[in-house]
Chains A and B, each alone.
Chain A
Amino acid sequence: MIDKNSRAILSVQGLRASINGTEILKGIDLTVKSGEIHAIMGLNGSGKSTFAKVLAGHSAYEITGGSVQFEGNNLLELPPEERARSGLFLAFQYPIEIPGVANTQFLRLAYNTVQTKRGKEELDPLEFDDFVREKMKLLEMNPDFLDRSVNEGFSGGEKKRNEILQMALLEPTLSILDETDSGLDIDALKTVASGVNQIANKNNAMILVTHYQRLLDYIVPDFVHVMQAGRIVMTGGKELALELETRGYDWVNANKSVTGVIA
């Protein structure tokens, strides 16, 4: 929800980033305040996944310009684990499989690491088990997934649920969901969306990176941004997603120079 009294969680100004010498992000400006849900849409190759990874601190990208403030701190100075510990979360488009590590072990490790940073008590395996099972209900996940290796042999939908489960456990201030809707059938999409909606509150914020409008039927954004060639070329309300769905991205090309920002 938009609330004019809310505080800025993320403030991105003129962010530029490249990989192997090729510039992908060419000056991004974005402000995200608490309680808000932002959608970033765009075609493949527009740079939206790169933006998500750069915010999370992926070391393959070189920051070549601009600044990012997160909760009042210079985000770009922090290593990825510090970003996570201070409340930034990236739900991966392609979650990594880790054979040999039980999911519950991994989830507890991540949870306790973040809890410690927040000055809270760690949970022992038994306490954590109760806690995580509650959270799994939110996503209608089978508890059997706790004992399996992290994401190993999970279907696409199960992997995405496992991402949202981590988000539910870590209670981030800012969640970036990178193409969380890809590979989900409609039932899984509804479950995942319902989980996300239950996590969203007035103190946190979300950025949904998505190609299609479909996800936005279930998670209603306050702002929709269109990304193209490494820049945000258009910003609007939730109706912009519908506009894109009917008119296609070509329409953006025809209108961006005229309208610029239609907010």
Chain B
Amino acid sequence: MNDLANTDYLECLLKSWPIKPTESLSWLNQLRTQAIDRVGTQKLPTRRDEEWRFTDISPLSRLPYQPSQPECNLQAHNIEHLTLKEAKHRLVFVDGHYSPNLSTIIDPAALVIGNLPAFVATHASVLESHLGQYVQFDNNLFAALNTAFLRDGALIIVPKNITIAEPIHLLFIATQNEVTSYPRCLLIGEAGSNVTLIEDYVALQQATYITNSVTEISLAANAHAKHIRIQRESTQAFHLANCAVSLAHASNYQSTSISLGSQISRYNLNVRLTDEAAECVIDGLTLISERQLADTHTCINHAKPNGTSRQQHKCIVDDAAHAVFNGKIIVRPHAQQTNSSQSSRNLLLSKTAQVDTKPQLEIFADDVKCAHGATVGQLDQEEIFYLESRGLSAKAARNLLTYAFGAEIISRIPVTSLRQQLEQAVLSQTQSN
């Protein structure tokens, strides 16, 4: 791709940006303007960029999809199968636009929850100090684009020492063809708070579109958050996502991300342990087939002592699909007594399936424990024989073992109905006849 085409692509995207500066929103417009400036100085990444070595996103340059317009004709019954009975709070975004009719907010006094624009005036200072502060867009084209188009988004602020028992479901539904949507989430967990957030990307039918999302999570001292992320977009879609998490003293972040959909997907997760004794658990499962490409880049940045991180990432790759996992762990010079482990396990179900897995440890402290390991392989013959010796056919044995490989990650999702939905999805994708 030449630079001219690249510039055209970006200009084409940006010309639809509606600039309506108002006094009260000046900081927000400033943020957007900075983002637009940054878009102008960047190019669509190519495989020559180290961060994109394994993932060719050049097909995107041929798809200068305009931002979606709000045209939601969905009724509650259209999305019934996507709702989770455990989730009392549900924010629904259709093609990136907030849909109050489909959303449910119970007991809004307990926390701040809703669509971002509704809080821009009332919560200006807190938003200003968090929004756009964790996902850096200086060197990240997609984050810059998302920020340039920033409008609707999910905002959740869990007040100090409050535990929200029921999970919060953020449902991002794609309905339009050949558009780009820019979902945005901001979760602020105040000191000692506790919350479970489900970020769920779905399509109602097969369509070609682009989702470019940014999620920011900030946990204050002793705050806990469970973050479940489900990417089940159309298998013709493009999904580009950035998530950044900032962890304060003794806070605890647990993430389970499942990638099932999209023709090409890329998920960047950056977790920064900014103060002592923070903990994070990061689990991931990629399950893809045909010609799908799913790329997960994570970075766990231990900046202060006594931090703990545990990461397990699994990929099940069938047909000619291609999974990428790049797991960077940084232990800064002062982050002594860091305890970190990382495991990348990959299951190839066909001869043409491909996995690139790259653990990347950058350790600058001397008193730390860091374990990591990566495996790529087929199903174990001894395991298959064990099941066959109990009467299961070779095919049933393979199916069960493949299912089990993925189910290990899914079983960690603390929301029963979602777990069941995903187990069903894994079953239908891994059970050959």
Interface core residue of A60, A81, A114 (most chain B CB under 10 Å): A81
B401 touches A98 (CB 8 A): yes
A100 touches B404 (CB 8 A): yes
Question: Contacts A92-B386, A96-B382, A98-B383 known; A113 to B404 CB distance under 8 Å?
Answer: no
What B residues does A83 contact at CB under 8 A?
A: 389
A59 touches B381 (CB 8 A): yes
What A residues does B394 contact at CB under 8 A?
A: 79, 81
- Interface residues of B, CB < 8 Å — how many? 24
A60 touches B392 (CB 8 A): no
B393 touches A81 (CB 8 A): yes
B383 touches A113 (CB 8 A): no
- Interface residues of A, CB < 8 Å — how many? 29
What A residues does B396 contact at CB under 8 A?
A: 109, 113
Shortest distance between the CB of A197 and any CB in chain B (Å): 22
Interface: B391 (CB within 8 A): yes
> Please, how many angstroms separate the alpha-carbon atoms of A92 and B386 in the complex?
8
Closest to B402 in A: A100
What A residues does B400 contact at CB under 8 A?
A: 98, 101, 106, 109
B391 touches A58 (CB 8 A): no
Shortest distance between the CB of A167 and any CB in chain B (Å): 10
What B residues does A47 contact at CB under 8 A?
A: none
What B residues does A80 contact at CB under 8 A?
A: 385, 388-389
Interface: A99 (CB within 8 A): yes
Shortest distance between the CB of B263 and any CB in chain A (Å): 28
Question: Contacts A96-B383, A101-B400 known; A84 to B406 CB distance under 8 Å?
Answer: no
B391 touches A84 (CB 8 A): yes
Interface: B405 (CB within 8 A): yes
Shortest distance between the CB of A257 and any CB in chain B (Å): 37
Closest to B409 in A: A100
Shortest distance between the CB of B389 and any CB in chain A (Å): 5
> Please, how many angstroms separate the alpha-carbon atoms of A59 and B384 in the complex?
10
B391 touches A117 (CB 8 A): yes
B407 touches A101 (CB 8 A): yes
Shortest distance between the CB of B312 and any CB in chain A (Å): 11
A100 touches B411 (CB 8 A): yes
> Please, how many angstroms separate the alpha-carbon atoms of A80 and B389 in the complex?
6
Closest to A81 in B: B388
A110 touches B404 (CB 8 A): no
Interface: A173 (CB within 8 A): no
A58 touches B390 (CB 8 A): no
- Seed contacts A79-B388, A83-B389, A84-B391; 4 additional CB < 8 Å A-B pairs: A81-B388, A101-B407, A106-B390, A114-B391
A–B pairs, 12, beta carbons within 8 Å: A59-B381, A81-B388, A84-B391, A85-B391, A92-B389, A96-B386, A99-B404, A100-B403, A109-B396, A113-B392, A149-B404, A170-B390
B contact residues vs A (CB 8 Å cutoff): 380-383, 385-386, 388-394, 396-397, 400-401, 403-408, 411
Query: A-B pairs with the 10 shortest C-beta distances?
Result: A100-B404, A100-B407, A110-B390, A100-B408, A113-B391, A80-B388, A96-B386, A84-B391, A101-B404, A81-B388
